[in-house]
Chains A and B, each alone.
Chain A
Amino acid sequence: MAKRKHKAPKRKASWLVNTILAIICIIWFIPTLGLLISSVRPAADILQTGWWTVFPHRQWATEEQVKLPKDTDLRQPITVNGQTFSDDQLKAGVMQGDKRLVWENRRSRTVDVQDKKWSGMTLNFTTQNYETVLGGKQYKITQPDGTVKTEQGSGMGRSFWNTIAVVIPSTVIPIFIASFAAYAFAWLKFKGRRFFFVIVIALLVVPLQVALIPILRDYTALGLNGTYFGIWLAHTAFGLPLITYFMYNSISQLPRDLFESAYMDGATNFTIFSKLILPLSVPALASISIFQFLWVWNDYLVSLIFLGSQPEVQVLSMNIANMVGSRGSDWHLLTAAAFVSMLTPLAVFFALQKYFVRGLLGGSIKG
């Protein structure tokens, strides 16, 4: 196995490559940008104007107002500046030449005459959404004697730590178990190897909803409901088929002579696994742990069913869902909360990105 330098000299990037990639990146970034901008806009703005209106753009601006006679009949065609329009047209806005007519106030019979004007950068930003999200939503509770009490809901702090306690073991445990299994499937001979492997692959496709009710019943009998251990097991089982499949793919690609020489030297399987296989599989381990981490981090259904929503064990995704309410109408809170909950996975990605480098395997890959 030839040891090579970590960084191969980078070939000069062509402008074509850079341009195509830049276009893809911009398209990819637009929805996320929308989320970021929306998260700092006041709640009312979010529902009234598009998020891109914070940038300079042309929009209708009222130039003058026309007051129609107070007794104008709205069911009849309405005459404005010599032309007639229907009430519905004026409600939606209608063009007259290059001007636009729209009701300013229907009851007082005032019509806006608007013109397209450039509007500059809007700087109507607020940190209110983030304050609410991090501090917890305020609940107004009407007490029996009629007074209204405002109570602060639990913030994200507690559920952040709960999430850590759920996510890290739920990432490490299945990867550990799956790597051991993948090593055995790939390099050890034993009865039932093929059978078990086919079952594991087949289980890839089982939708986890299939398992929810039977597991819930077993968990209730065993007292595992609402415990970290229970949810670790559930996430482990749901992640295992995919992780085993992936680790198998990576481990079975390693060259055979690598093990054989180690085995000849008297190394046990356990030593080969922990001293040889794991270090060589670092890129695969890094990428699959990112994904398992993400899936568990963003999971809502499994935590809801096996952990419950009591504040002592509640995880972030559940906290967000509670904050938003079942109808998902509080967009301003959701955008801020979504951004806050994105930060940790992104940090993990950046931390692990350094393992995705060329040359970690040297020339050892089968080719």
Chain B
Amino acid sequence: MDVRANQGSMLKLILLSILVPAVNLGLHFSIFLFFRSSDLPPVLNAVLAVIWGIFGIYSIYWSLNWVVEQYSDKWKERIIPYVFVGPAVLLLGWLLFLPTLRTLYLSFFNADSTRFVGLANFGAVFTDRLLLTALRNNLLWVVFGTLACVILGMLVAVLADRSSFERLAKAIVFMPMAISFVAAGVIWKFIYYYQPGDDQIGLLNAIMVQLGLQPQGWLSMVQPWNNLFLIVILVWMQTGFAMVIFSASIKGIPEDMLEAARMDGAGEVRIFFKIMLPVISSTVLAVTTTIIVFTLKIFDVVMIMTGGQYGTEVVATEFYRQLFMYQNAGYGSTLAIVLLIAVIPVIILNLRQLQKEGSF
């Protein structure tokens, strides 16, 4: 009797486990088909699509969770983590991980991927003058770009916290983030624009002329400093990112903790280094990691401002050029892999930090 009841509920569970994902799949596939063939007015179409997207993702998790809840406690514990990480792992596996493996594979082949060349591409990358410049420039981007973004972002976050115009200051520093790269390119052309003579429409050269100096071709002639002028654009755009995150985590520090230190007579600078910084150290690491990764992958700024000419090429622009313009899959893939290798130390540092915090 007991066994049969058990078998009955087993059967029900198996049926549910198949049925619920199947219904999900069928339902969302038919909605997908509806949208693909529909000819609704734009506003209605957008609103419906947004509703589908938001409720769709919630209902998928909710229903899968509901199925797992029917299992026995032992199995519930085992399976629920996979329901939670499953979608992320599947999506990443399909859309990022497999393409990366394929890139790794292609990096051992020649330009049109027909002949195995071993490590020859890597040898070539590290001896080609252009690519070496790209690697050097990437290093400049990572070091100066990251340092400037993190320090300035922290400075603004801390200062804004005690200033009398916090909202305005944060909005101003954040604003460049809302600007697309194409638009930022135009904005900075109004700053760096160069033409011979006294009449300048670029702000920097107008200042030079006012000071009685020669106007400069900031992005083309003053190599390798032109890289720094490009980095300034990134710093202008990305400091807002660091600022917002830092600001949020500074606000998370309990006020009583700071107040206690003030009672003990600690100065504001000391409080910052001795109390604030240690408390938000994991946020600092997270922001630094993000910006390092971002600067390693830097592409748009360089492409729009100089197209990677005048000694400003970086790994991502060279990757793009090799893969899409010269059709050299071997070189292109190798460059992408070099980026991956370059970030390994940062990842190890992160994992070690997480381990220290005891969450791993």
Interface residues of A (CB under 8 A from B): 4, 8, 11, 13-14, 17-18, 20-22, 24-25, 28-32, 34-35, 38, 46-52, 92-93, 157-158, 161-162, 164-165, 168-170, 172-173, 176-178, 180-181, 183-186, 188-190, 193-194, 196-207, 209-211, 213-215, 218, 223, 227-229, 232-234, 236-238, 240-242, 244-246, 249, 252-253, 268-270, 273, 283-284, 286-287, 290-291, 294, 297-298, 300, 317, 320-321, 324, 328, 331, 334-335, 337-338, 341-342, 345-346, 349-350, 353, 356-363, 365, 367
Chain B nearest CB from A260 CB (Å) reads 15
Chain A residue numbers with a CB within 8 Å of B177 are 291, 294, 345
Contact residues in A for B15 (Cβ distance below 8 Å)? none
Please list the residues of chain B having a beta carbon within 8 angstroms of any beta carbon in chain A: 32, 35-36, 42-43, 45-46, 49-50, 52-54, 57-58, 61-62, 65, 69, 78, 80-82, 84-85, 87-89, 91-92, 94-100, 102-103, 152, 155-156, 159-160, 162-165, 167-183, 185-191, 196-203, 206, 236, 239, 241, 244-245, 247-248, 251-257, 279, 282-283, 286, 289-290, 293, 296-297, 299, 316, 319-320, 323, 333, 336, 339-340, 342-343, 347, 350-351, 354, 357, 359-360
Q: By CB atoms of chain A within 10 A, which of B65, B171, B201 has the most?
A: B201
Q: Which residues of B contact A8 (CB under 8 A)?
A: 255
Q: Are A194 and B99 within 8 A (Cβ)?
A: no
CB distance from B154 to the nearest CB of A (A): 12
B357 and A203 form a contact (CB under 8 A)? no
In the bound complex, CA of A239 to CA of B42 (Å): 26
Q: How far is the CA of A35 from the CA of B78 in the complex (A)?
A: 56
Known: A190-B82, A209-B323, A346-B175. 20 other contacts (CB 8 A): A34-B203, A50-B190, A51-B201, A92-B197, A165-B49, A199-B92, A202-B347, A205-B293, A205-B343, A206-B96, A211-B95, A215-B95, A273-B84, A320-B183, A328-B182, A328-B185, A338-B187, A359-B255, A365-B253, A367-B254
- B244 CB → nearest A CB, Å: 5
Q: List 20 A-B contacts (CB under 8 A).
A: A24-B155, A31-B190, A31-B191, A52-B206, A161-B45, A169-B54, A181-B89, A190-B85, A194-B360, A201-B351, A204-B343, A210-B100, A253-B282, A321-B182, A346-B171, A356-B247, A356-B248, A365-B252, A367-B257, A367-B279
Chain B contacts of A249 at CB under 8 A? 282-283, 286
Asked whether, in the complex, the Cβ of B85 is within 8 Å of the Cβ of A346, the reply is no
Judging by beta carbons under 8 Å apart, are B347 and A227 in contact?
no
- Residue pair A21, B163 in contact (C-beta under 8 Å): yes
Q: Assess A176 versus B81: contact at CB under 8 Å? Given A199-B97, A367-B279.
A: no
Contact A241–B351 (Cβ < 8 Å):
no
Interface contact A210-B53, CB-CB below 8 Å: no
Contact between chains at B61 and A176 (CB < 8 Å): yes
- Among residues of A, the one whose C-beta sits closest to the C-beta of B202 is A50
Identify B91's interface contact among A92, A158, A199, A240, CB under 8 A. Answer: A240
* Min CB–CB distance B279 → chain A (angstroms): 5
Interface centre among B35, B100, B320 (most CB of A within 10 A): B100
In whole angstroms, how far apart are the Cα atoms of A176 and B65 in the complex? 14
Measured in the bound complex, the distance between the Cα atoms of B45 and A197 in whole Å is: 37
Contact across chains for B248 and A31 when beta carbons are under 8 A apart: no
Q: Which residues of B contact A227 (CB under 8 A)?
A: 32, 35-36
Whether B178 and A203, one on each chain, are in contact in the complex, defined by CB atoms closer than 8 angstroms, is no
Which residues from A are CB-within-8-Å of B92?
199-200, 203, 237, 240-241
**Nearest chain A CB to B168's CB is how many angstroms away?**
7
When distances are taken between beta carbons in the complex, the residues of chain A under 8 Å from B183 are 35, 320, 334-335, 337-338, 341-342
* Interface hub of B62, B181, B251, B252 (most chain A Cβ within 10 A): B252
Measured CB to CB, the closest approach of chain B to A259, in angstroms, equals 13
Q: Which residues of A contact B175 (CB under 8 A)?
A: 28-29, 32, 342, 346
CB distance from A331 to the nearest CB of B (A): 6
Which residues of chain B are near A287, meaning CB under 8 Å? 244-245, 248
A322 smallest CB distance to B (angstroms): 12
